[in-house]
Structure 1
Amino acid sequence: MPPNSSVTVVPLLRLPPLEPRPADAAKPEAPEPRQRRRLVSRRAILAGIGALALLSAIAAGGLYFDYSRRFVSTDDAFIAARQFAVAPKVPGYITAVPVTDNQHVVAGDVIARIDDRDYRVALAQTEAQVAAADAGVSNIAAQIEVAQAQVTASEAQVRQAEARLVYARQQAERYGTLTKEGWSSRQTGDLTVAELAQQQAALGSAQANVMVARRQLDALEAQRSSAIASLREAQDQRDQARLNLSYTTVTAAQPGRIVQLGAAVGQFAQAGTSLTMFVPDEIWVTANFKETQLDALRPGQPVRFEIDAYPERTIRGRVASVQPGSGTAFSLLPAENATGNYVKIVQRVPVKIVIDNAPTDVALGPGMSVLPTVRTDAKPSLIERLGEWL
């Protein structure tokens, strides 16, 4: 184009870019074979983990079921004991109480002392009565010895009189014959006859003396029996006085704990009045199992306890016995199911469980809550076998 020529420049219109049609849109690129393999392997791993978890859950559930079916437990269980009241057998003023509340005592420990002066005086009186009765028995025994000597002497006199009578009879017969034949005087014959009668009378008197001596001996024997009975009565009274004196010291009959102590120095204690409650060391657990659980319970089965007061302690024991009847059957007002409408309720049956290793450093007493678990099958479970194997 020549230089000095005029040229008109027309600007070009800019059109907006055309949007690609859906048919013309770019297609997603297909994954490469390597990425596809990774995706497949991840899915397989997740599926394997899920299957393994499912199998593990089934196995754990089976193991737990196998383990748990060997045990029965209840939360309706409490510690029990034969607690009783300690009371004196004789009345009197209390002079000493050497124990305090909740103190542990052993058999023979003194719980309270009662003023024993009156009982010592009573014992001294009965001992004096025993001594007097014993002296009476000895006196009668001496009299019996004298009476026996009198009986012996009287019997000797009887024998002597019998001998004289025999001689007098012989003399009378001899002089009677001589008198008839004229060899002796009639006066001599009469004398021999009189002598015979005299000796017969002497024999009768001697025999009567023997009878009297024997009767006196029998009377003394009866007196001695009465004196011996009096002596025994006095001895019994003395023994009772000794017992009453010993009762002034109230002691523990067995090991246990003092509970609710009410005795105080200066208090007048009546015979039979409670001084304190006593809880023996011998305790056990009364577990009220449902009657549907009794089929698996047998005496001697091991038990594990968990005490609410001491949750960190595990105590062991064993089943002792099962009560022959439900708890309501032995209550003060047993249920009467034969009247009115009836709704069946699972009954509770008390089971006595003894404790083998009761702790001594803590206080266990009646009424404390316990959670017992009884093992009903002695065979080891799969979990226990696995634990032993590991």
Structure 2
Amino acid sequence: MSAADVISAKGDGGPRSTQSQDVPALRETDRREARPDQPTREAEAPAPQKPAGLRGLIRQHPIAAIVGAVLIAAAIVGGILWWLHARNFESSDDAFIDTRTVLISPQVSGAITGVNVTDNQIVKAGDLLATIDQRDYKAAVDQAAAQILQAQASIADIEAQIGAQQAQIQQANQQVQEAQAALNFATDENQRYQELVQKGAGTVQRAQQAQSDFTSKKAALDAANAAKLAADRQVDVLRAKGEQAKAQLQAAQAQKEQADANLQRTQLLAPTDGRIAKLTGAVGALASPGQAIMVLVPLDVWVTANFKETQLELMRVGQPVDIHIDAYGKSYPGHINSIQAGSGTAFSLLPAENATGNYVKVVQRVPVKITFDQRPDVELGPGMSVVPRVTVRP
């Protein structure tokens, strides 16, 4: 310590005041060190207790509690309203556009000479799709037509022969009548001369001549009758040939119809309105019966929705349906057309066998056919996904 510091301390009473201030602090420190286990007065004073539990939380945050209560009430009311609204509808995401596609395949074989359509083209019923080589089938038509003419000529010839034979029959009838008249005269002559010979009025020679003439006339009558019978039998033969010729005519006509049908089948026509898909036919390729060269997708489509069997309780035919098409994000009105009589697995290629020991019950799906009220203004094809919503409660 310097002399200035000593003089300043003495003048100001520094050492006294410092000693008087430090003693109580030292005593308090010594007291704490002497009794470390005894709490201080501040520690001995009880701390204020905070309210515990939900009530305490609400008291601490009253505004948040009110907001939470309002939100919970709104959620409950909204859930009830949603349930009251949703229970009036049944929907399924296992639904697709469906139709009966037509496989365009020729019924006759031959080389393809023309393909009049292209991929995804819209066609109308009766439009020409493709053409097969027609030369062989035209020849078959001409041959059948020639056979018809030949059969008709045979029938006409036989009818003419029957007419001529009828004339011969009439001539034979006249000959029979002439022979019968001659026989009658010869009979009378023979009888008269035989009586005269017996009475002695006539000669034996004349009686023998009359007898010979009678025998000759009788033989002539028998010959005329035989000729008449032969003429009649010839008519029957000609009529049988006529029936045979008519049968040949019918066979030729049937062959002509078949040839015409085969010729028409060389032109493949669209059976209904639709769009071309999976076109494989090409000019020059050989087409065989039953081999599809293209697929026609009809424009008339519907929805096949696979609903759970637990959704069918209130579902009925005719109920309105809102059909949402995933591809376009649009909805179109429709109605239930029919409900399949059985689950989808019952008609599958390998139906489920439930008569086993490891049977597990699974909710089945039942196909429901839904038709559009009007044809949609978008292009739809089989397999496209939709979501139908059926109004089961009006």
Partner of 1:336: 353
Query: Mean Cα displacement is larger for which, 349-358 or 122-131?
Result: 122-131
Q: Distance in 2 between matches of 1:208 and 1:112?
A: 68
Partner of 1:323: 340
Q: Distance in 1 between matches of 2:77 and 2:208?
A: 141
Partner of 2:275: 257
Q: Distance in 1 between matches of 2:161 and 2:333?
A: 75
The answer on whether the counterparts of 2:100 and 2:298 sit within 8 Å (CA) in structure 1 is yes
Q: Any residues of structure 2 matched to 1:272-351 within 5 Å, and which?
A: 272-311=290-329, 313-351=330-368
Instruction: Give the letter for the 1:321 counterpart.
Output: S
Partner of 1:168: 186
Q: Distance in 2 between matches of 1:79 and 1:50?
A: 46
Instruction: Give the letter for the 2:374 counterpart.
Output: N
Partner of 2:47: none
SS across alignment from 1:258: strand
Q: Distance in 2 between matches of 1:283 and 1:171?
A: 103
SS across alignment from 1:321: strand
Q: Distance in 2 between matches of 1:153 and 1:316?
A: 88
Of 171, 174, 195, the residue aligned with 1:153 is 171
Q: Any residues of structure 2 matched to 1:192-203 within 5 Å, and which?
A: 192-203=210-221
SS across alignment from 1:295: coil
The answer on whether the counterparts of 1:286 and 1:352 sit within 8 Å (CA) in structure 2 is yes
The answer on whether the counterparts of 1:315 and 1:358 sit within 8 Å (CA) in structure 2 is no
Of 239, 257, 262, the residue aligned with 1:221 is 239
Partner of 1:387: none
Partner of 1:206: 224
Q: 1:354 Cα shift?
A: 1.6
The answer on whether the counterparts of 1:129 and 1:234 sit within 8 Å (CA) in structure 2 is yes
**Structure 2 residue 367 is matched with structure 1 residue 368:** no
SS across alignment from 2:130: strand
What do residues 264-313 of structure 1 show as CA deviations (whole Å, max 9, x unaligned)? 112221222111011112221111011111111111212110010111x2
Partner of 1:114: 132
Partner of 1:270: 288
Query: Mean Cα displacement is larger for which, 54-63 or 337-346?
Result: 54-63
SS across alignment from 2:129: strand
Q: 1:194 Cα shift?
A: 1.7
RMSD (CA atoms): 2.4
The answer on whether the counterparts of 1:301 and 1:374 sit within 8 Å (CA) in structure 2 is yes
Q: Distance in 2 between matches of 1:155 and 1:373?
A: 94
What do residues 55-100 of structure 1 show as CA deviations (whole Å, max 9, x unaligned)? 9887766654444322211111111111131111112221211111
Partner of 2:100: 82
Q: Distance in 1 between matches of 2:71 and 2:186?
A: 139
Q: Return 5+ residue gaps in structure 1 as ranges.
A: 1-48, 379-390
Q: Distance in 2 between matches of 1:287 and 1:85?
A: 24
Instruction: Give the letter for the 2:345 counterpart.
Output: T
SS across alignment from 2:116: coil
The number of residues matched between the two structures is 328
The answer on whether the counterparts of 1:305 and 1:370 sit within 8 Å (CA) in structure 2 is yes
Instruction: Give the letter for the 2:241 counterpart.
Output: Q
**Structure 2 residue 378 is matched with structure 1 residue 352:** no
Superposition TM-score, scaled by structure 2 size: 0.78
Q: Distance in 2 between matches of 1:83 and 1:210?
A: 72
Query: Mean Cα displacement is larger for which, 211-220 or 187-196?
Result: 187-196
Q: Which has the higher helix share?
A: 2
Instruction: Give the letter for the 1:89 counterpart.
Output: Q
The answer on whether the counterparts of 2:300 and 2:375 sit within 8 Å (CA) in structure 1 is no
Of 264, 283, 292, the residue aligned with 1:246 is 264
SS across alignment from 2:97: strand
The answer on whether the counterparts of 2:276 and 2:296 sit within 8 Å (CA) in structure 1 is yes
Partner of 1:377: 393
Q: Distance in 2 between matches of 1:316 and 1:155?
A: 89
Instruction: Give the letter for the 2:90 counterpart.
Output: V
Q: Distance in 2 between matches of 1:191 and 1:331?
A: 105
